[in-house]
Structure 1
Amino acid sequence: MAVTPLIWIITIGVTILFFVYEFFAHVRKPHEPTIAESARWSIFYVSLALLFGVGIGLVSGWTYGGEYFAGYLTEKALSIDNLFVFLIVMAGFAVPKAYQQKVLMIGIIIALIMRGAFIAVGAALIENYSWIFYLMGALLLFLAYRQAFGSHESDPANGKVVGFARRILPITDTYHGDRLSVKIDGKRFFTPMLLTIVAIGFVDLVFAVDSIPAIYGLTEQAYIVFTANAFALMGLRQLFFLIGGLLERLVYLAQGLAVILAFIGVKLVFHALHVNELPFINGGRHIDWIPDIPIWFSLLFIAATITVATVASLAKTRRDARAGIER
C-alpha cells in the first residue's frame, strides 16, 4: 500500500481539524448533549468511517479495505470498553454531567496521541524485527486472559497514580466549573477536574497497550492502523451519551473482547511462525505449512463475536430484569 508523506500530512491535518471543530462547536460551552444530538453525530462519524473504508478498498484493493474494516471493528469494540472505564472514572470523581464532555474530549485526544506514538514504535519494530510478532501474540493472549477474568470494578479516585497526584498537588474539594485550576486567597489550587484527567490519561495508556498490538495483528500498514484508530475515537464522545445506560447492560463485552484478542494473538503467532527467523525455532527457517489466517475470515470472526456478545448481554440483562420483577 503506497502512502506518500503528503497523504500522511493531509490525513493527520484533517484529523486535527475534526477535533478542533468538536471542541469549539460542542465542548467549549458546557452542556449535557441530548439523545438526538448524540445520535446525529454518532451516525455521521460511523458513516464517515465506513465511507473511508470503501475508499481504501476502491483505491488500494479490497485486501487493504478488509484490513481496515477488521481493524476499525476491533478498535471500536475496544473503545466502547474504554468508555465503560471512563464511566467508572467519572462516577468515582462525581464529575457533573455538564462537564463530562470536556473530560471525554481531553481523554480522547490523549488516547489518540498515545496510540499515535505506539503506532510509530510498532511500525519501526515490525519493519526491523520479525520476531516482534511472537511478543505481540504472547501479549495479546495475556491481555485476553486479563480481559476475560479481570475486573473493571476498581476505584479510580484512589488509584496509585491519582494518589501520587494528590500528594504533590494542592487539590480543592469541589469543582469550580470546568476549570483545571483556581486561585483561592492568592494561592493556586488544582480542581478535581485535573485529577479526573490524570486518571483518564492513565486509562488511555493501558488501553493503548491493548489496542495497538491487536490491530497490528490484522494489518502491517501503519496508515490503516492510524486511520482505523482515529475513526474509532471520532464520535466516541457522542457515543458515550448515546449508549451511557446501555454500557452497563453489555455484561459479556469483556468476554467478547477477550475472544477477539485471543484470536488475533493466535493469528500473530501463526504469522510469526510463517515468517520465522529465530535460529532456535525450526533452525531459523520459515514454517511454510503454518497458515496465514485470511483477512476476510478475521473480519467475519470479529463481527460475529461482537454481535454474539451484544445479543447475549442484552438477553441476559432482560432475563435478570424480568426475574427481578417476578420476585
Structure 2
Amino acid sequence: MGEPLWAWAVVIVGLLVVIAVDLWIVDRGEAREFSMKQAGFWVSFYVLLAIIFGIILWATQGATHAGQFFAGYITEYSLSVDNLFIFFIIMGRFAVPKVYQHRVLLVGILMALVMRGIFIALGAAALQRFSWLFYVFGAFLLYTAINLIRQHGHDEDEFSENALLRWVRRAFPTTPDYVGHKVTVKIDGRRMVTPMLIVMVAIGTTDLLFALDSIPAIFGLTQDPFIVFTANAFALMGLRQLYFLLGGLLQRLVYISYGLAFILGFIGVKLILEALHASHVSWAPEVPIWVSLSVIGVTMVVTTVASLLKSRSDARKGKEIPTSASANEG
C-alpha cells in the first residue's frame, strides 16, 4: 500500500503516451470510420497491456496485489459493458457521424478518467478515516444489484441529460450542425460550440454516474488507491475499442444485467463481511482475493455464454415463425 510518487508518474505518463499514439495512428489524415479489424487489434492491445502490468505487479509486489489488480480490472471492464449500451444511445440521439465517434469516445473517456481519479482519491481518503463507510458501500452495492435485476428489460437503456449537460447547453451558444471534428467554431465573429462538445460532455459525465457503482465495487476488492486507479484506467482505455468491436452483439447479451447484479451483490456481501471481520466479529470470514477473482471470471463467462445461447435460440424460433414483415415481402 502507498506506492511512491514515481510509480504514479510512470503509470500516468505511460497512459498518456499510449493514448497519444493511439490518437495519432487512428485519427491521422482524413477522418474515416473505425473498422472491426482496428477495433479487434486495439482491444487485444489494451488487454495485453493490462496483463503485462499485472505481471509487473506480481513480480514487484507479490501475488496478492496482482490478484487484486486483475480482479478489479475484470470487474471494471465487465461493469463498463453497461456503459456501452448508454454510449450507443447517446451517439444515436446526437446523430454523431461514425467517422468522428472514436474521437468523441476518446475525449469523453479521458474526461471520465480525470473525474474518476478525483472520485477515487476522495473515496480512499474517506475509507481510511471512516471505516464504517465499508458498510455503506456494501449496502449500496446490494441495493444496486437488486435494482439491476428489477429493471432488467424495463427501459434500462434510456438516457436523460444530467445537470452539467443541461448547463452547457444553456451557457454556450451551439451550432445546429457538426463542423467536422471541431468542438468550437467562430461564426460571424461569434464563438460557438458544436454538438461535438455537447456529446463529449454527455459521454464523460454519464460515465461518472456509472462510477458510483463501479468505484465502491473495486474498493470491495482492494483499498489500495494505486490499484483502484490503474484497474479503472486500463478498463476505460480499452472501452472505446470494445464499443466498435461489439457493435450489435451488445443486444444479444440478454443476461448481462443478471451477471453484473450477481457480481455487485457478491462484492457487497464481501465488503460487509470484511468490515465485520476487521471489527473482530468471530463468525465473519475474510474472503481471499482468488475467490473474488474466480467468482467474477466465472460469472461473466457463464452470463455471456448463456446470453449467446438464448439469442441463438430466439433467432432460430424467429426463422421458424414468419413475421408480418417477411410475410408482406413474400
Give the TM-score of the pair, scaled to structure 2. 0.90
With 165-174 and 109-118 compared, the bigger mean Cα shift is at 165-174
Deviations 1:20-77 (A, max 9, x none): 2222222355321221121112111111211221221222121222111111110111
Letter in 1 for 2:312: R
Report the 3-state secondary structure (helix = DSSP H, G, I; strand = E; otherwise coil) of the residue aligned with 2:185.
strand
Residue number in structure 2 paired with 1:283: none
CA distance in 2, matches of 1:189, 1:320: 48
Residue 308 of structure 1: which of 302, 308, 322 is its match? 302
Residue number in structure 2 paired with 1:196: 199
Whether the 8 Å CA contact 2:270–2:287 is kept in 1: the answer is yes
Residue number in structure 2 paired with 1:173: 176
CA distance in 2, matches of 1:195, 1:148: 31
Residue number in structure 2 paired with 1:153: 157
Alignment of structure 1 residues 31-46 onto 2, 5 Å: 31-46=32-47
Residue number in structure 2 paired with 1:98: 99
CA distance in 2, matches of 1:231, 1:294: 23
Residue number in structure 1 paired with 2:269: 266
Whether the 8 Å CA contact 1:111–1:201 is kept in 2: the answer is yes
Residue number in structure 1 paired with 2:315: 321
Residue number in structure 2 paired with 1:120: 121
Q: Does 1:294 align with 2:288?
A: yes
CA distance in 1, matches of 2:255, 2:302: 9
Report the 3-state secondary structure (helix = DSSP H, G, I; strand = E; otherwise coil) of the residue aligned with 1:40.
helix
Whether the 8 Å CA contact 1:141–1:262 is kept in 2: the answer is yes
Letter in 2 for 1:22: D
Whether the 8 Å CA contact 1:114–1:204 is kept in 2: the answer is no
Cα gap change, 1:128/1:311 in structure 2, threshold over 3 Å: closer, same or farther? same
Deviations 1:101-139 (A, max 9, x none): 111001110121111111111211222221110111111
Whether the 8 Å CA contact 2:2–2:226 is kept in 1: the answer is no
User: Where in structure 2 are there 5+ consecutive unaligned residues?
Assistant: 322-330
Alignment of structure 1 residues 249-264 onto 2, 5 Å: 249-264=252-267
Whether the 8 Å CA contact 1:216–1:225 is kept in 2: the answer is yes
Runs (4+) off by over 4 Å: 158-161
CA distance in 1, matches of 2:162, 2:274: 38
Cα gap change, 1:227/1:322 in structure 2, threshold over 3 Å: closer, same or farther? same
RMSD value over aligned CA atoms?
Answer: 1.8
With 21-30 and 122-131 compared, the bigger mean Cα shift is at 21-30
Residue number in structure 1 paired with 2:236: 233
Deviations 1:150-192 (A, max 9, x none): 3433244x66654443333322222111112223333333222
How big is the shift at 1:316?
A: 1.4
Cα gap change, 1:135/1:164 in structure 2, threshold over 3 Å: closer, same or farther? same
Whether the 8 Å CA contact 1:70–1:298 is kept in 2: the answer is yes
How big is the shift at 1:255?
A: 1.7
Report the 3-state secondary structure (helix = DSSP H, G, I; strand = E; otherwise coil) of the residue aligned with 1:112.
helix
Whether the 8 Å CA contact 1:133–1:272 is kept in 2: the answer is yes
Q: Does 1:131 align with 2:146?
A: no
Give the TM-score of the pair, scaled to structure 1. 0.91
User: Where in structure 1 are there 5+ consecutive unaligned residues?
Assistant: 277-285
Whether the 8 Å CA contact 1:28–1:102 is kept in 2: the answer is no
Residue number in structure 2 paired with 1:14: 14
Whether the 8 Å CA contact 1:251–1:313 is kept in 2: the answer is yes
CA distance in 2, matches of 1:161, 1:7: 33
The share of aligned pairs that are identical, in percent, is: 50
Letter in 1 for 2:292: S
CA distance in 1, matches of 2:166, 2:297: 39
